[in-house]
Amino acid sequence: MEHDWQVYADNAIAWARQRLGSTAYATRCLAFVEDAYERPNHLEIFGGDFARESAELYAAQNNSGTPPAGAFVFYDNNGELLGRRQNWGHVGLSIGDGHTIHAWDRVRIDHYLEIQSLVTPSGWDSPRLIGWAPIHRIFQGCQPKDWAAVGDAAEAAQRMQAARFGEGAGPT
């Protein structure tokens, strides 16, 4: 499968920007960035079940400095969820010039370093930057997919989250 990384990144960033201010992805940051790439590009990518797991799979710790547009930007983020405290992580999509669009309390844009200073929910530690994963790494093993049959992206992400982690809960 041939890939035009710049087109994929441009499509993902445009899709994500259309959701600025939405609360539909609160606690579903990984679903948000995956949907940003998958939905407009008609592909399915395969990461982990939560952001920290994906950071490990994509070896985000190997990339430092300002992330390029289209990269997934990963953070350690410890908190209490589903009766256990662990590092669930946090992830956003770099839109270039040091800025990242991500699902926190709402879909928002912050400088990738300032995400570490965001107000956290009760029981959660501040996010700490791990590093970033380049587009070509995120797309390893991707497959074509017709997302029309799945329905609304945010609702589908919520259903998948409930199936993986239980109704009404899920990692950031």
CB within 8 Å of 81: residues ≥ 6 apart: 88, 165, 169, 170, 171
User: Quick one: pLDDT at residue 84?
Assistant: 83
Q: What is the pTM of this model?
A: 0.87
Interval 46-71 mean pLDDT: 96
- Res. 172 pLDDT band, cuts 50 70 90: very low
Residue 164 has pLDDT above 60, yes or no: no
User: Quick one: pLDDT at residue 158?
Assistant: 65
Spatial strand order in the sheet of 72-76: 107-111, 99-103, 90-96, 72-76, 128-133
51: enclosing H helix or E strand: helix 51-57
How many Cα neighbours within 13 Å face the side chain of 37? 34
d(CA 59, CA 56): 5
Interval 79-89 mean pLDDT: 89
User: Quick one: pLDDT at residue 167?
Assistant: 54
User: Quick one: pLDDT at residue 157?
Assistant: 62
- For the chain, give the percent of residues with pLDDT over 70: 86
